Amino acid sequence: MWRVSGVQRLRLTRRQAARLCSSNPAEPSSSSSSSRPHAEKQRRRRAREEAILSGPHNGAADKAVKWSEKQRVLYPAQTPPGTKKDTTLPFLPSYSPDYVESSWYEWWEEEGFFSPQQHEQLPHAVDQTFSLCIPPPNVTGTLHLGHAMTVAVEDALVRWRRMQGYRVLWVPGCDHAGIATQTVVERRLLMETGKRRKDFTREEFLQEVWKWKNNKGAEIYQQLRKLGASLDWTRTCFTMDPGFNRAVNEAFIRLCDSGLIYRSEGLVNWSCALESAISDIEVDSQELSGQTMLSVPGYDSQVEFGTMITFAYPIEGHDSEMAVSTTRPETMLGDVAVVVHPDDPRYQALHGKQCRHPFTSRLLPIITDPLVDMEVGTGAVKVTPAHDHTDFQLSQRHSLPRITVIGGDGRMTPSCGQWLEGVKRFEARQLVVDALVEKRLFRGKKSHAMTLPVCSRSGDIIEPLLKKQWFVRCGEMAKKAVQAVEDGQLQIIPHFYTKTWKNWLSNLSDWCISRQLWWGHQIPAYQLELPNSTNSLEEQWVWGHSEDEARQRAAVKYGVKPESLTLTRDPDVLDTWFSSALFPFAMLGWPAQTTDLQQFYPNSILETGSDLIFFWVARMVMLGTELTGRLPFKQVLFHSLVRDKYGRKMSKSLGNVIDPLDVIHGVSLERLQEKVMEGNLDSRERLVAMEAQRKDFPKGIPQCGTDALRFALCLQKIQGEDICLSISEVLSCRHFCNKMWQTLRFTLGVLGDNTTVESLEKISPVSSMDRWMCSRLYSTVLQCEQAFEAYELHAVTSALYFFWVHNLCDVYMEYVKPVLVKQDGRAVAHADAQSRCVAASVLYHCVSVSLALLAPFMPFITEELWQRLQAFRPPAAAAAHTSLCLQSYPCSLQLAHWHFPEEERDFLLIQEVIRVARSLRAQCGLTKEKPVMWALCSPSQAQILQRFSSAAETLGRTSHLHIYCPDSPTSAQSTPPPEGSLIGVVDLTCQLHLHIQGGVNVDKQIAQLSQRRDKLVSKLEEILRRIQSPDYLTKVPAHIRQQMDSKVAALQQELTITEDQLKVLTSQ
């Protein structure tokens, strides 16, 4: 295992090593899941830590989240849990998460809105099913932002499908997390009672674990509710529930019967602190650059690692020796051979000779193998099959014995001799070196870079140990999993993960599923003692749901009476990942053919983090296909990992985990620091974590609310690189919530003035602005449809944010305010009653449809605002369902009559005109005045400006916009702009002119124009450098070159105009 890296062990070429290790019964190395070397990962991690520790504190604080405490307003009405909230209370002046998010979830849950049975009551129901499971969080802790990402993405998909009329099932659950849970409970019991696990009986200890689980599991479920997850709580599934336990036993029994599970002796990753085998995912690789002192559980003093010891073996019958090297001299007691390359000229005469072990007097054969690298070290390699993965394979090739010299408790075994028996392995290390020195066989010690495997649960150094364990044959199942993707039966999203999928499964080793724990699914296998059996070395095993079933199976198999058999159950439990791999069908009642299983299996999709592709997803596909005959799901959607702002993966071991509830409710810096102190971090990690918090959150984390957190998470591009989420992004989404709130305040104020709202089908917008707004709504709905189908949630949320803020609020509402808002008892506008009615109806439907579009992402605020809007629902509209979450999701087909592509295209010019008009006003310091302006443009642009004249004047804040076309035959009828006007460039054929009135600060205008000229020159030079580069014509596509040419022409024109204006002003 880890000694092969950089140590003089068996040196193999990459291809040879892969071929040799393919039959290894141990689990696949987690290093295969990363293309970046461990050393590079370690270097980057240290660099990030140094950046945190060494960066200037004040400078970092300047970039920290800037916020002020908002007034917290609670919902005042007494609302019994499960009853509907009263939305007739006065509308608050501003958004408050506490007020908005109160009571809604309890009502949704009580009404059964999240149950698939609700489907039958939907008027828009379709005969389609959408089912999935939540990746069950470990019962060991609380949720973090990574879990919040999973919830935000999955709940958006679930709510979207439910609103589309699908029959939806989303099953909640928790994983028992065998090693993690047992470790936590053991620590708690030791702290509270002073007792260790083995001071209890197995039954007593399991009772304590169940007490702890019932408390912790409820906490996780409350977090999920707080995040707004629309899970069907009536189907909650825990991986240690009786029904799930039966499914696990059934799976084990079926796989044993088919020969896919077998018992064998093999090397496993062993944690001496836990006294259990562990999976690769629970092994961390720690890179050492050389000699390093580390703390190890169970040792009072630090232990030295990162050194290589060289010693000599005397050759029997010769006055010579063979030098070998190792980073673990304590294992030399288990050496059984020395191997050299058959063509190495240095050892030709020694083939078939033997070395004498200095401590056991055992003779070690000198064997040859072509896989030895002659160029590395001395070319002679010691072989320790019982404590090294590569050596174990070598022992199989050469029929070598395997001698275990380190026991499961981390102490040396009796085979080492009395002088070492019972000594801790790392204390034995120095005793062995001292003995070699005494025997004059020590040849040196040097610093050596190496990779050290560390147990993520206990911090212990992993020991490869030879154990009889249960293994799953993965070869054929892995082939089927690869074929399912290649045939298109299983779709992996994003597609680039298919290569990773194939590479990993194509080189998959058998899977060790035995764990030496008490908490978990005890293996349903029994060791059998036959009557009058004489072979005590050969193990006989039988399996069954109970001891009686196993006894009956054994009696039939061996033709003996059941009562004559002695059965002893295997005390080990199954790897947690084995039971987790059954989740998609065990949660539905498998192996029983339940209605849920028939209706919702296979699941529609699995959505999870990309880090679980091997350890959970692949195993679900393999076991699901094998046990049910069908793939467990049709699609797999991987989202990227959530990292902190420094690019570090959020991890309890780094102290950078953020509790989503702290973002929802807000938290002080002091409390954040307390949480770090409560964790199990070493001194450096604690220092780094607390310094990062001080820099990032000098005033703590502001209250953002659930909707803002969910929306911020779904704004990230999940199908790509890892996500570095900052709290400032979440805070911006809270500001968006307030924007929504203020929009409804305005809308309700308008609708409250006895305004009649027409139904969506009846509205026929006449004015150009109404048509533009309706068409923008249609286009946004279409964008959402297409992006949802592609699972590109960031595209959905970005489109909705842009529509609400930049189309609805910044443009349309500002335009219609003079039409709809009354002053002195009448509407301040030239609009008639019909225009006001249409504008109010368009505003109502834009808000109502937008709330429905946003509902999957922001369930609380959209429900609150939608409920308040229902009082103004058009009389002719179809009866609305009691909750927004069961409304029909907006469909582009319903809005097809609102599609006006010409208005959307033409309004792009108007937006540019408005931008330039505001810029000209700002240059002249006209903050309140509404000046007259002239538009010098082409005939086609003049037509657009005339159609949108009221919008250009209202939004550009001008009293009048004259339109002048020099090339038009009717230009004589219009007034040209006055000489000496300030000019703003819209595009190549359109300019705005603002006549400079007396009293304007000329010096200020000259300074602004000079600054503008300098910027234009800089931009122009930058583009010209690109255009003039040697490979521009060959590498840049034609359409891009055309765009660049147009940009250069526009910049040159604007620069000319700016310089002309400066000449006019400076001449005054």
Q: Check residue 1043 and give its pLDDT.
A: 81
Give pLDDT tens digits for 921-935: 888 888 888 899 999
pLDDT of amino acid 534? 67
Tokens 């989202």 belong to which residue?
639
- Judged by average pLDDT, the poorest of 64-78, 188-202, 704-718 is 64-78
Compute the average pLDDT of residues 462-480: 94
All residues at 6 or more sequence positions from 398 whose CB lies less than 8 Å from its CB, including other chains:
337, 367, 369
Sequential DSSP letters for 135-195: -PPBTTS---HHHHHHHHHHHHHHHHHHHTT-EEEEE-EEB--HHHHHHHHHHHHHHHHS-
Q: What is the pLDDT of residue 902?
A: 95
Q: Quick one: pLDDT at residue 972?
A: 47
Return the ∠ at Cα 1018 (arms to 1012 and 1019), rounded to 5°.
90
DSSP code for 509: P
For the residues 339-354, what does the mean pLDDT come to? 92
Of the listed ranges 183-197, 227-241, 698-712, 944-958, the least confidently predicted one is: 183-197
pLDDT tens-digit profile of 80-98?
A: 999 999 998 999 999 999 9
Place of tokens 């793939």: 631
Which tens digit of pLDDT belongs to each residue from 195-222? 999 899 999 999 999 988 887 768 899 9
Q: Is the dihedral of CA 585, 587, 590, 594 positive or negative?
A: negative
**Percent residues over pLDDT 70 in the chain:** 90
pLDDT-based confidence at residue 775 (cuts at 50, 70, 90): very high
pLDDT for 34 beyond 60: no
Per-residue pLDDT, averaged over 802-818, amounts to: 95
Task: Transcribe 577-637 into DSSP letters.
Answer: HHHHTTHHHHTTTTTS--HHHHHH-SEEEEEEEGGGIIIIIIHHHHHHHHHHSS-SEEEEE
Specify the pLDDT at position 140: 79
Q: How far apart are CA 195 and CA 208, in angstroms?
A: 12
Residue with tokens 């650059």: 289
1022 and 1015 Cβ atoms separated by less than 8 Å:
no
Choose the weakest-confidence range: 71-75, 287-291, 308-312. 71-75
More confidently predicted of 692 and 972: 692
**Range 412-437 average pLDDT:** 95
pLDDT: is 58 or 388 the higher one?
388
Q: Output the average pLDDT for the chain.
A: 87
> How confident is the model at residue 159, as a pLDDT?
98
Q: What is the mean pLDDT of residues 468-497?
A: 95
Out of 765-769, 789-793, 798-802, 814-818, which region has the weakest mean confidence (pLDDT)?
Answer: 765-769
How would DSSP label each residue in 444-475? EEEE--EEEEEETTT-PBPEEEEEEEEEE--H
Q: Are 738 and 94 in contact (CB under 8 A)?
A: yes
Residues 428-442 have a mean pLDDT of 96
- The CA distance from 203 to 205, in Å, is 5
Task: Give SS3 for 232.
Answer: coil
- How far is Cα 338 from Cα 354, in angstroms, rounded to an integer? 9
The string of DSSP letters for 1011-1039 reads HHHHHHHHHHHHHHHHHTSTTHHHHS-HH
Give the residue-averaged pLDDT of 442-450.
92
Give the pLDDT score at 400.
94
What are the phi and psi torsion angles at 578 (to 5°)?
A: -65, -50
Write the pLDDT tens digit of every residue in 1022-1061. Answer: 888 888 888 888 888 887 888 888 888 888 888 887 887 7
Q: Is the pLDDT of residue 954 over 60?
A: yes
CA distance 114 to 12: 56
pLDDT at 605: 97
Q: Is the pLDDT of residue 417 over 70?
A: yes
CA–CA separation, 670 vs 1041, rounded Å? 56
Nearest to 442 by CA among 549, 625, 343, 308: 308
Count of other CB atoms within 10 angstroms of residue 242: 8
CA distance 436 to 445: 12
Cβ neighbours of residue 772 closer than 8 Å, sequence gap 6 or more: 900, 903, 904, 907
Least confident of 40-54, 194-208, 291-305, 500-514: 40-54
- What is the β-pairing status of strands 633-639 and 603-609? parallel
Kindly write down the DSSP assignment for every residue of 671-715, as one continuous string: HHHHHHHHS---HHHHHHHHHHHHHH-BTBB----HHHHHHHHHT
Give the residues across from 411 on adjacent strands: 424
- Residues 983-996: pLDDT tens digits? 888 888 898 998 87
- Of the candidate ranges 128-137, 400-409, 720-729, 774-783, the one whose mean pLDDT is the lowest: 720-729
Confidence at 187, pLDDT banded by 50, 70, 90: confident
| Stated pTM of the model | 0.86
The tokens for 272 are: 């001496």
pLDDT, tens digit (0-9, with 9 covering 90-100), for 566-597: 999 999 999 999 999 999 999 999 999 999 99
pLDDT tens for residues 525-547? 999 988 877 666 678 999 999 99
Token couple for 489: 């039966």
Distance CA(606)–CA(635), nearest Å, equals 6
Cα–Cα dist 380/67, whole Å: 66
- Residue 15 is predicted with a pLDDT of 29
649-663 burial, b at 16+ Cβ within 10 Å, e below that, comes to: bbbeebbbbbbbbbb
Query: Which tokens in the block code for residue 167?
Result: 């029959």
Q: How confident is the model over 354-360, as a mean pLDDT?
A: 95
839 pLDDT higher than 60: yes
Q: How confident is the model at residue 946 (pLDDT cuts 50, 70, 90)?
A: very high
Most confident of 211-215, 315-319, 512-516: 512-516
Ranges of beta strands (E only) in 821-904 are 822-823, 826-827
pLDDT band at 844 (very low <50, low <70, confident <90, very high): very high
Pairing of strands 354-356, 363-368: antiparallel
**pLDDT of amino acid 200:** 94
Q: Which two tokens stand for residue 1065?
A: 């002003």
Per DSSP, the three-state class of 38 is helix
Higher pLDDT, 855 or 38: 855
Q: So what's the pLDDT on residue 130?
A: 98
Give the strand pairing for 167-171 and 173-174. unpaired
- How large is the average pLDDT for residues 640-662? 83
- Of these ranges, 209-223, 673-687, 775-789, the one predicted with the greatest mean pLDDT is 775-789
The mean pLDDT value for 627-631 works out to: 97
Q: What is the mean pLDDT of residues 126-139?
A: 94
Instruction: Find how far residue 545's CA is from the centre of its chain.
Output: 38
Judge whether 511 and 552 are in contact, CB under 8 Å. no
Higher per-residue confidence, 39 vs 317: 317
Residue 41 pLDDT exceeds 70: no
- Model confidence at 2: pLDDT above 60: no
Write the secondary structure of 467-498 as one string of H (helix), E (strand) and C (coil).
EEEEEECCHHHHHHHHHHHHCCCCEEECCCHH
What pLDDT is recorded for position 999? 55
pLDDT band at residue 652 using 50, 70 and 90 as cut-offs:
confident
